[in-house]
Amino acid sequence: MEGAFSFLDSDNTWIQLGISIGILILFLFFRDIFAKYVFQLLMKVSNKANSQLLSHIFLSFEKPVKWIFIIVGLYIAMGFFPYLEQHNTLFVRLIRSSFMIMIGWGFYNIASASSAVFIKMRDKYTLEVDDILIPFLSRMLRVVIIVITASIVLQVFEYDISGLVAGLGIGGAAIAFAAKDAIGNLFGGFVIITEKPFTIGDWIMTPSVEGTVEDISFRSTKVRTFAQAIVTLPNGTIANEPITNWSRMGKRQITFNLSISHETPRHKLQRIVDRIHTTLVNNDDIHPETIFVTFDEIKDNSYDLFLYFFTNTTNWGEFLKIKENINFQILDILEQEGVIIALESTRVYVDSDKLLTDQKENNDQLMLGKDS
């Protein structure tokens, strides 16, 4: 009889184990159906509704919901599993904390894609939110979600959070001292965001680096130099340096001196000044507000013209092209007027009579020396 009951118990155990595994496989099957049909249907609905926010929510919770299917299946399967109680305290806490982690994971994904949400809200409600602030807020939101999720999980396991907070308070001074550079960089990031000396995409120059700003995080700012290298500067450093933001220029300056040969007659000099000025005024690439072309100086070796004007563009490549075109036009004017550019040179004037007298005296001295 005992052998029969033992056989029946063993057989029942295998049946319960099979049911448990079958339930788990069934929920895995439901997860695949959800991913293949339900989720695709939800995405089609959000696309037809033209709701970017709904699309972000669905995409953010796609993987967490798949794992929730497994967690639910695991919990139900444990009701038939012969070797573990479904209401085991540790098991129940693990299931609850897993749910919290999955929900936190979904919100974390929403926060990581929240830049698009912030941009949509800014455009819709015309909020004054800078492009630097959007990724900064996104990162802060992700940190808050992690902290909240971790605190809920600790509460599920009945950990005394107040004791943890008190412990952090006691060690706060030591942590602050050890992390003073990190805190300085964090405050430097806040200074950059609030004062807005530059934003992402700006061309800046500091004593440390010159290039285009690619990213601004809690700790550092990344700048791509013109040699295509990435320079990572601590925010505390860059916030305390003088910053030149070339992207904020409304126009770009060109100024130089043009040296004309002394052989140039006055009327030609005047005509060259007038023609260069007219050329700049009629050039659409030159800012019309400030254009100076003047006969500036009479030097030992040349007549100097002074040119001072601005281009409408601030783009470095376009600026160089405009400057080149202006130089060619000036050369054309000089060639048409038959005027040459003066070169740096030194003239030596010799008194020929004095040179002959000195040479004769030298020869007489040499003859006297030979006679003696």
pLDDT at 58 over 90: no
pLDDT of residue 362: 67
Q: Would you place residue 284 in the very low, low, confident or very high pLDDT band (cuts 50, 70, 90)?
A: very high
Length of the chain: 372
pLDDT of residue 4: 40
User: Most confidently modeled of 152-161, 296-305, 321-330?
Assistant: 321-330
Joined together, the tokens standing for residue 372 give: 């003696």
pLDDT of residue 60: 79
With CA atoms as reference, report the closest residue to 211 among 243, 169, 188, 184.
243
For residue 323, give the DSSP letter.
H
pLDDT at 273 over 50: yes
Q: Cα(268)–Cα(339) distance, rounded to whole angstroms?
A: 8
User: Most confidently modeled of 159-173, 304-318, 323-337, 347-361?
Assistant: 323-337
Q: Answer for the pair 185, 192: CB distance below 8 angstroms, yes or no.
A: no
As a whole number, the mean pLDDT across the chain is 77
Q: What is the pLDDT of residues 60-117, one digit of tens each?
A: 788 888 888 888 888 887 777 767 676 778 888 888 888 888 888 888 888 775 555 6
pLDDT of residue 164: 58
* Least confident residue range of 195-204, 295-304, 356-365: 356-365
Percentage of the chain lying above the pLDDT 70 cut: 71
N-term to C-term CA, the chain: 157
3-state secondary structure of 125: helix
Mean of pLDDT values over 350-361: 62
Strands 252-260 and 303-311, by their bridges, are antiparallel
With CA atoms as reference, report the closest residue to 312 among 251, 253, 255.
251
Q: What is the pLDDT of residues 226-260, one digit of tens each?
A: 888 999 988 888 888 888 887 787 788 899 999 99
Q: Which residue has the higher pLDDT, 186 or 147?
A: 147
Q: Cα(112)–Cα(138) distance, rounded to whole angstroms?
A: 6
Q: Cα(194)–Cα(235) distance, rounded to whole angstroms?
A: 13
Q: Would you place residue 274 in the very low, low, confident or very high pLDDT band (cuts 50, 70, 90)?
A: very high
User: Most confidently modeled of 19-33, 89-103, 157-171?
Assistant: 89-103
pLDDT at 165 over 60: no
pLDDT at 331 over 90: yes
* Least confident residue range of 185-199, 207-221, 235-249, 314-328: 185-199
pLDDT of residue 372: 53
pLDDT at 40 over 80: no
For residue 70, how far is the Cα from the chain centroid?
A: 40
pLDDT of residue 344: 63
Q: Cα(177)–Cα(80) distance, rounded to whole angstroms?
A: 55
Q: Which residue has the higher pLDDT, 89 or 280?
A: 280
Percentage of the chain lying above the pLDDT 90 cut: 17
Residues 6+ apart with CB under 8 A from 49: none
Reported pTM = 0.48
pLDDT at 304 over 50: yes
Q: Which residue has the higher pLDDT, 15 or 336?
A: 336
